[in-house]
């Protein structure tokens, strides 16, 4: 049974949301909420990390709370985005290091990136984690905001796609499901979506020829249905003049599913980011992202009262999402 297929097993009554624990151990109130709300999975942040044995115990608690094998993800990209840090865990170079290396020696860059990915995967598995929000497939531009910066491999979309696909293959071979981000591309954004809503005024043709390329490269590969993708909280007027991509049915259907050809599981970026503040409370945002075509809404802050509110608004996993998980096999 593939990992995505195992996630689908007994998940028919799961809520289409990813929740986050507040600390290194579950409180009784969290256990009760997770048991009753039954989120599809969880995401781990540094606030919930002490050491490998503790993290493995927490992951076991999370699975016990929902009563099934479930996704437990983390952001472990290397560089400055790493929830598992030295000296307990290894430190890894940022993506840009491998992109720069590839200009002079691509085989060496791919080799070293592959070793890095397999090492990260081994550490994640040992700690009970089964998904990683990596690789970043955003294409560097002169205007790229520092929130992406060296997290991106290169300004060459073909190279970003090639390196990103290698990372996806290596994670999957090691039992970790990768999440490519931030679809359909964050590289042109000049603002941090954690703090405000970026607006990207590029034409559809410009984005087709650059930003979409790495995502299309992975989506069309032999592992395209097995990887997950994370949406960008960005307003692209050429795609939808009114709504950010995460909340746009038109942009998700037309761009992500049709033009890019991605038919795997699509999760929203964190709905508590300020980019979505104009679009309602957290429950409204989560429900809107599902209505727009995201398979799962992601909530990262870990506040119990907010998760309780979200649980009132988010529907169960759809039949379409379950089929996507099963098709990934």
Tokens of 303: 């506040």
DSSP state at residue 6 = H
| β partners of residue 177 | 131
Q: Beta strand 296-298 with 266-270: parallel, antiparallel or unpaired?
A: parallel
Q: Which residues contact 319 (CB under 8 A, 6 or more apart)?
A: none
Contact in structure between 16 and 322 (CB atoms under 8 Å): no
For residue 193, what are the CA distances in angstroms to 98, 104, 233, 256, 310?
A: 25, 33, 6, 19, 21
Angle CA 155–157–158, to nearest 5: 125
Structural contact between residues 162 and 203, judged by C-beta atoms closer than 8 angstroms: no
* Contact present, 11 and 68 (Cβ < 8 Å): yes
Alpha-helical runs (H) found in the chain: 3-8, 28-37, 52-66, 95-104, 106-126, 157-173, 204-209, 212-219, 249-251, 282-292, 304-311, 319-327
**Residue of 240, 269, 270, 295 marked catalytic:** 269
Q: Report yes or no: 130 and 175 within 8 Å, Cβ to Cβ.
A: yes
**Per annotation, catalytic residue among 105, 194, 253, 277:** 194
- Contact between residue 299 and residue 42 where contact means Cβ atoms under 8 Å apart: no
Helix 157-173 vs helix 106-126: angle between axes, to the nearest 10 degrees?
Answer: 40
Q: Which residues pair with 199 in a beta bridge?
A: 235
Asked if 269 is an active-site residue, the reply is yes
Return the active site residues: 194, 269
């Amino acid at each position: 049974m593939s990992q995505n297929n195992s996630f689908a097993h007994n998940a028919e009554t799961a809520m289409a949301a990813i929740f986050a624990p507040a600390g290194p151990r579950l409180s009784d109130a969290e256990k009760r909420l997770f048991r009753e709300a039954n989120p599809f999975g969880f995401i781990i942040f540094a606030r919930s990390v002490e050491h490998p044995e503790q993290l493995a115990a927490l992951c076991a608690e999370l699975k016990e709370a929902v009563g099934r094998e479930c996704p437990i993800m983390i952001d472990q990209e290397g560089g400055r985005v790493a929830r598992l840090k030295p000296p307990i865990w290894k430190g890894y170079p940022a993506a840009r290091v491998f992109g720069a290396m590839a200009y002079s020696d691509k085989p060496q860059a791919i080799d070293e990136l592959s070793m890095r990915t397999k090492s990260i995967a081994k550490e994640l598995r040992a700690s009970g984690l089964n998904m990683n929000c990596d690789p970043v497939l955003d294409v560097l531009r002169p205007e790229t905001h520092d929130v992406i910066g060296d997290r991106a491999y290169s300004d060459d979309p073909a190279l970003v796609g090639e390196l990103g696909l290698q990372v996806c293959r290596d994670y999957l071979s090691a039992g970790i499901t990768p999440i490519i981000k931030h679809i359909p591309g964050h590289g042109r954004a000049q603002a941090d979506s954690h703090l405000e809503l970026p607006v990207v005024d590029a034409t559809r043709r410009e984005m087709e020829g650059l930003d979409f390329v790495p995502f299309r490269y992975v989506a069309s590969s032999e592992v395209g249905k097995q990887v997950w993708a994370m949406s960008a909280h960005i307003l692209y007027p050429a795609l939808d003049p009114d709504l950010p991509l995460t909340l746009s049915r038109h942009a998700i259907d037309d761009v992500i599913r049709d033009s890019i050809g991605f038919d795997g599981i699509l999760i929203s970026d964190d709905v508590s980011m300020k980019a979505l503040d104009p679009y309602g409370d957290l429950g409204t945002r989560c429900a809107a992202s599902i209505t727009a075509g995201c398979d799962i809404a992601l909530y990262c802050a870990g506040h119990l009262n907010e998760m309780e509110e979200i649980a009132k608004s988010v529907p169960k996993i759809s039949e379409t999402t379950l089929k996507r998980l099963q098709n990934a096999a």
